[in-house]
Amino acid sequence: MKYHIWTIGCQMNVADSERLGSALDLLGCEATQNPDEADVLVVNSCVVRQGAEDKAVGKLQSLKPLKLANPNRIVALMGCMVGPKSDTLRRRFPYVDLFMRPQVIDDMIQLIEERQGTCIDNAVPLIPSRPAVSTFVPIIQGCDKFCTFCIIPYRRGREKSRPVPELVREVRMLSQRGVREITLLGQNVDSYGNDLPDKPDLAELLSRLNEVEGIQRIRFLTSHPNDMSHRLIEAVARLDKVCEHINLPVQAGDDAVLAAMHRGYSADHYLRLVERIRNTIPGVSLSTDVIVGFPGEGDQQFQRTLDLIREVRFDKVHIAAYSERPGTIAARKLEDDVPLAEKKRRLQAIEEVQERIATDINAALLGSVQEVMIEERKDDRWEGRTRPNKLVYFNNGHHKPGDLVNVLVEIASPWSLQGTIVER
């Protein structure tokens, strides 16, 4: 059987799709990019923004003729569109065979086992047989925070960490299969271990993974300003494989908006945390997530977000315009009172400020030599990243993904660097 998995959304969805693909590989199926020739069609969905949900629905609808042409095909919807109850989805998409909640792929495995007459050895971890040199490793599922705008806790459930020994075993296997960089994933990685019996924390997990032979770089995503401990910051500074990059979503720079979002911190707390991170981790790069146009965000509140962005000078800002998500606290209790045109204007204002900041930060790297891990060859040039997560392009040298090379930076843009490989 051939399978086709289409994925939209966060890195966790990418990791879930990889895990499902690994299970299907173990069952003897074969991946295909072409939905027309697939026996198993999977849409891995995201509902964090309306736009992502619309795209997932469009993709699912495009599969309907394929299912009608061959009713033996299996069509499945997975990811955050699927909540605890799927009755409404079943009525809306009657041609879909399976509705799988995030991370719950057992129904699919069982169905394929029945069809193929094969079965999976439960002792084998579900990791790709040929993983990319840089691979995601989910360490904690779900989220306990219930930010008012966010649907994740309702769709992915409460926090559930994977035990340290299981993760060390998995990363060792990934290393043996050629992985050189891992990114530990969770909606809130900083609360890793709170739900485990001996309460290991992310700092401890990083220390254990830092010892895995063959792994050269370790990253983690996403942090929460309330849960980032000093122990964790010191671990990033101390452990040689842990890269100097932290994604620390601020979401807004105004205290009233932060309170309405139930973020649980003030702008001042965030700024002090940034200072502590920068004082402890030399050369750290910082990225953040921001939502504009949250209910009640007036001009003054928005200005405070813009001021915070100017003050921190992030390497990267992921900006989203607020869109009401049914089922969230904000959708139930707050009026979506910022007009769409104003949301777009604010989004653009941040983009412009951030573009200038990123231009300056990256221009400061011109003429420097950066250590880059090669990830892949695309459009006749190599692509890789520095430890602080700068995207770098270059086209000389005979190398392979996973190699560490030194690149002289010759061109800098707000989004990437370009250069030439040099000997140190």
29 Cβ neighbours under 8 A, 6+ residues apart: 1, 2, 3, 39, 40, 112, 116
397 Cβ neighbours under 8 A, 6+ residues apart: 382, 405, 421
Nearer to ligand SF4, 158 or 272 (CB): 158
Contact flag: residue 325 with ligand SF4 (CB under 6 A): no
Residue written as tokens 């964790």?
Answer: 232
Site string for ligand SF4, 198-237 (x = CB under 6 A): --------------------------x-------------
Site string for ligand SF4, 100-139 (x = CB under 6 A): ----------------------------------------
The distance of closest approach from Cβ of residue 54 to ligand SF4 in the complex, given in angstroms and rounded to an integer, is: 20
Residue 388 and residue 378: Cα distance in Å, rounded?
21
The distance of closest approach from Cβ of residue 94 to ligand SF4 in the complex, given in angstroms and rounded to an integer, is: 31
Among 83, 153, 214, 264, binds ligand SF4 (CB under 6 A): 153
Q: Is 365 exposed, middle or buried (0-12, 13-18, 19+ CB in 10 A)?
A: middle
Q: Is 106 exposed, middle or buried (0-12, 13-18, 19+ CB in 10 A)?
A: exposed
Of the ranges 144-152, 238-246, 357-365, 414-422, which one interacts with ligand SF4 (CB under 6 A)? 144-152
- In the three-class reduction of DSSP (H, G, I as helix; E, B as strand; rest coil), residue 337 is classed as coil
Question: How far is C-alpha 141 from the chain's CA centre?
Answer: 12
Of the ranges 148-156, 176-184, 350-358, 395-403, which one interacts with ligand SF4 (CB under 6 A)? 148-156
Contact flag: residue 73 with ligand SF4 (CB under 6 A): no
Among 75, 143, 319, 417, binds ligand SF4 (CB under 6 A): 143
The distance of closest approach from Cβ of residue 146 to ligand SF4 in the complex, given in angstroms and rounded to an integer, is: 6
Contact flag: residue 157 with ligand SF4 (CB under 6 A): no
Among 13, 141, 188, 386, binds ligand SF4 (CB under 6 A): 188
Residue 142 and residue 176: Cα distance in Å, rounded?
29
Residue 295 and residue 19: Cα distance in Å, rounded?
37
Could you tell me the two tokens for 354?
């951030």
Nearer to ligand SF4, 40 or 286 (CB): 286
Nearer to ligand SF4, 102 or 200 (CB): 102
The distance of closest approach from Cβ of residue 187 to ligand SF4 in the complex, given in angstroms and rounded to an integer, is: 4
Residue written as tokens 């315009």?
Answer: 321
Residue written as tokens 């977000």?
Answer: 305
Contact flag: residue 189 with ligand SF4 (CB under 6 A): no
The distance of closest approach from Cβ of residue 141 to ligand SF4 in the complex, given in angstroms and rounded to an integer, is: 11
Among 145, 180, 325, 390, binds ligand SF4 (CB under 6 A): 145
Contact flag: residue 17 with ligand SF4 (CB under 6 A): no
Region class of 84: left (phi > 0), else alpha (psi between -120 and 50), else beta: alpha
Which H/E stretch holds residue 317? strand 316-321
The distance of closest approach from Cβ of residue 262 to ligand SF4 in the complex, given in angstroms and rounded to an integer, is: 8
Q: Is 369 exposed, middle or buried (0-12, 13-18, 19+ CB in 10 A)?
A: middle
Calculate ∠ Cα 74-80-85, nearest 5°. 75
Cis peptide before 222 (omega within 30 of 0): yes
Nearer to ligand SF4, 145 or 304 (CB): 145
The distance of closest approach from Cβ of residue 78 to ligand SF4 in the complex, given in angstroms and rounded to an integer, is: 18
The site for ligand SF4 (CB under 6 A) is made up of: 143, 145-147, 150, 152-153, 187-188, 224
